[in-house]
Amino acid sequence: MTRQAQRGQRVLVVRCPAWPPGDAPDRAAGPGPAARPAGQAGSAGTAGQAVPDARAFEQVIDAAERFSPRIEVLRPGICAFGARGPARYFGGEDELGRLVAEAVTRLGFDCGVGIADGMFAALLASRDGLASVLIVPPGGTAAYLAPRAVTVLGEPELADLLARLGIRTLGEFAALPASEVANRFGPPGVLGHRLARGLDPRPPAARPPEADLTARIEFDPPLDRAEQVVFAAKALAGQLHDRLSAAGLTCVRIRVEVARSDGSEITRLWRHDGLLSDLAVAERVRWQLDGWPGAGDRGGDPVDDGGGTGGVVALRLIPDQLVHAQGRQLGLWGDAAISDRVARAAIRVQAMLGHDAVRQPVLVGGRSPAEQGLLVPFGEVARPARPAGRPWPGRIPAPAPSTVYPVPRQAMVTDQAGALVTVTGRGLVSADPARLSVDGGRPLAVTAWTGPWPVTERWWDPEHACRKARFQLVAADGSAWLAVVSDGRWLIEASYD
Amino acid sequence: MVGGLVRAGREIGPGQGPVTGADLLPVLPALADLLPHGAFRRGSVVATDGWSLLPLALAAGPAASGAWCAAIGVPEFGVAAAADAGLDLERLLLIPDPGGNWPQVVASLLDGCDLVLLRPPGRLPAQARRKLEATVRRHAAVLLVAGDWDGAQARLRVTAREWLGIGAGHGRLRACRVQVAADGRGDWSRARSRWLWLPGPDGSVSVADGVAPGADRPEPGWLEASAG
């Protein structure tokens, strides 16, 4: 559905040469700055002497917003919007282009307007159509691009390489087989090749009007059979997907909210990534209904089969984290190949317990054992802030403990005389540890110990700074512990058994 | 008809009939001697005495051979220790808190994973327990219980443990020499016992045979090299 929408995309680009390509890269403009016309419309403040403020371009955006509510600003000086709808409303592309150009010129800026299939061709057309309107007819993009030099792709290295191979125009480049281009030139080559063939690497996407994209349905009378709700969910998902693809957007996750007549409501977030079909969304709604414990609270009775707890009164599908549709088919579950069977089992448990209940561990860098394991909810991609495999001075040496308590356990470590063992500011132990009691349990004799390993963390940050000392302790029953003492309080962080 | 026969064959369960490679789930080489056939028998329930590095190491072998593993009810799962023991973290699901309806969670995961490592949050009535055991057989999975399980085919226990490398105020924990004993029903009726490095100095698991426990023994080379 998205692909089709992309294929039929007509894009209108407005280019005002008063704002030359500055720091922001302008792929289509090529290496040289766009030519500034001599006959700059002499209007107050913007006459040829200086480059106008980027904020001044807001006026142009305002002008363009009269033609389409969704304007994408590529950089100050260039903005674009989908031309299909506006063209129909304003009486054809010729008329639309003329009106837009007129509106911008009236503000005192010279402008070029280009309309073509896709952003790249439209950008070039806006340059060619300076002080006029240039329309590349639908399907004519490849022919329009063919005679152009490969340098317009804005990839100097690629252009250089192609020129040395005797390929000087986009037409010649487009004639190469796509697979060979991918082999020989890599990702920049593939992108350039798509552009040269008149395909669009990305549809225009605009500031997303988020509230509008929620798909909701109310049931009156309430539905008491899951089948009916799932059926409605499928249609609702279709609506949502249509709206998203019309906006050139996709969502990373989808939030499903189900409300029942007894006032209870269950909300779940599902990974979407633009890869779920209407049916797949409906299936997730079904799992969510199946996983709804009768009491409305997790951990209660087994699943109630729908009798007596009230029907479903409303269903809402809310796209979460909108992103521009890339048309890319990433592995849904990250890099590791996860079989459907595993994914289904994991998602089923997520439906029962919540998105965060099923996790996948990732190793990250850190000093203490608790910092070294990051638990990522299943279906999300981990982006650890502290990658593993880098040196961490003060890291607890291997072997790693098998048991790392999420909440450290209370402990008492005493010496022969029964006094609490403490560590001085200079890192000296008050006495040899002799007894260890965990969680107020029976004291065990300490047979071996080592420490203190002083830790001063985040000394630069008075709020989070902490001074503590770690010990490894072996008790008489053979158990080995990682303990930490801070301000005279002992905690067990991990166990090595 | 044929399907019915195959299904019936599956329902026979462990301890009966010939064992083929497809019925087995490999474990780490160091642990193979402890298990009949040198591997887990699919459809079986194996218990250990509580959560420790032993169930973690037992789960490492299947994950390394491409099986998926789920660990249920272990919020204190040592991720770094698991990786060092050879457990492939990319094939591991963690369900730290399975909630009150945990048998249902276990059954769901048995459908997707080859090995489910469970620390039971509570005791199950015999009927629910047998239902879960039937699920294990139906999906030809292995349920590894870190705790008590009445219907377990086998039980592995740590019977002796000795930490090396650490003294009174010096050194550090370097390795642990552990005696593991296994016994049970059927294939497991012959009791086995092995000395293992659990963990070894780099966190891996290896056989520690040939080194008798006690005071007068040759120290392994890595201990001398790192002394002082």
Query: pLDDT of B101-120, one tens digit each?
Result: 999 999 999 988 999 999 99
Q: How far apart are CA A232 and CA A377, in angstroms?
A: 28
Determine, for residues A400 and B84 on separate chains, whether the beta-carbon distance falls below 8 Å. Answer: yes
Name residues of chain A where pLDDT drops below 70.
1-8, 21-55, 73-76, 200-212, 252, 269, 271-275, 291-309, 321, 323-340, 380-385, 457-459, 462, 464-465
- What H or E segment, with its residue span, contains residue B184? strand B171-184
Given CATH 3.40.50.2000, say whether it is the number of domain A215-324: no
Q: What is the pLDDT of residue A267?
A: 75
Question: Can the peptide bond before residue A25 be classed as cis, meaning omega within 30 degrees of 0?
Answer: no
Give me the residue from B97, B105, B172 closest to A397, CB to CB: B172
Calpha distance A211→B160 (Å, rounded)? 63
Buried/exposed code over B204-225 (b: 16+ C-beta within 10 A; e: otherwise): bbbbbeeeeeeeeeeebeeeee
pLDDT in the model for residue A275? 65
Q: Do A496 and B173 touch (CB under 8 A)?
A: yes
Is pLDDT at B122 greater than 60 in this prediction?
A: yes
Where does A131-176 have alpha helices with state H?
Answer: 141-145, 156-164, 170-174
Tokens of A5: 């929408």
Measure CB to CB from residue B76 to each of A336, A352, A406 and give the nearest one: A406
Q: How many helices (H) and strands (E) does chain B have?
A: 7, 11
Provide the 8-state DSSP code for B103.
H
Chain B residue with the nearest C-alpha to that of A409 = B76
Q: Where along chain B do the CATH 3.40.50.300 domains lie?
A: 21-146
pLDDT at residue A80, rounded to an integer: 83
Predicted confidence (pLDDT) at residue B28 exceeds the cutoff of 50:
yes
CATH classification (class only), A3-196 = alpha beta
The fraction of chain B above a pLDDT of 90, given in percent, is: 57
Mean pLDDT of B177-198: 90
CB-based contact B104 A361, cutoff 8 Å: no
CATH number belonging to domain B21-146: 3.40.50.300
Contact call for A343 and B108, based on CB within 8 A = no
* B144, B46 contact by CB (below 8 A): yes
Say if residues A463 and B178 touch (Cβ distance below 8 Å). Answer: no
Q: Which of A472, A475, A415 is nearest to A447 (CA)?
A: A475
ipTM of the complex: 0.86
Residue A301 has a pLDDT of 35
Tell me if B90 and A360 make a contact (CB, 8 A cut-off). Answer: yes
Query: Where would I find the H helices in A291-379?
Result: 340-353, 369-372
Helix, strand, or coil (residue A238): helix
Distance from CA of B73 to the nearest CA of A (A): 11
Return the closest-CA partner of residue A381 out of A279, A285, A253.
A253
Spatial distance between the Cα atoms of B100 and B86, rounded to a whole number of angstroms: 31
Q: What is the pLDDT of residue B90?
A: 86
- CB count in 10 Å sphere of residue A141: 24
Q: What pLDDT does residue A338 have?
A: 56
Q: Which residues of chain B have a CB within 8 Å of the CB of A300?
A: 100-101
- What pLDDT digit, counting tens, does each position of A166-209 carry? 888 888 888 888 888 877 887 778 778 888 887 766 444 444 44
Residue with the bigger pLDDT between A249 and B204: it is B204
More confident residue, A373 or B178: B178
Q: Chain B interface, mutation test: which of A402, A435, A447, A471, most B Cβ atoms within 10 Å?
A: A402
Question: A352 vs B76: CB contact, 8 Å cut-off?
Answer: no
Judging contacts by C-beta atoms under 8 Å, the chain B residues touching residue A398 are 84, 201-203
Q: How far is A450 from chain B (nearest CA, A)?
A: 4
Distance CA B98, CA A358 (A): 9
- Chain B residues touching A406 at Cβ < 8 A: 75-76, 96
Regarding predicted confidence, which is higher, A227 or B79?
B79
Residues of B in Cβ contact (< 8 Å) with A399: 81, 84, 173-176, 199-203
Query: Which chain A residues touch B100 with a CB distance below 8 Å?
Result: 298-300
A432–B contact, CB cutoff 8 A:
yes
Residue A274: the pLDDT is 62
Q: Which residues of A touch B96 (CB under 8 A)?
A: 357, 359, 375, 406
Per-residue pLDDT at A326: 52
Q: List chain A domain ranges.
A: 3-196, 215-324, 403-496
pLDDT, tens only, A226-248? 778 888 888 898 888 888 877 77
Residue A454: cis peptide before it, omega within 30 degrees of 0: no
pLDDT level of residue B17 (50, 70, 90 thresholds): low
- Which chain B residues are Cβ-neighbours of A474 within 8 angstroms? 163, 166, 173
Residues of B in contact with A476 (CB under 8 A): none
Q: Span B177-197, mean pLDDT?
A: 90
Q: What is the mean pLDDT of residues B211-227?
A: 49
Cβ-defined contact of A432 to B98 (cutoff 8 Å): no
Pairwise CA distance, residues A409 & A438, whole Å: 7
Q: pLDDT digit string (tens) for B136-151?
A: 999 999 999 999 999 8
pTM over cut 0.90: no
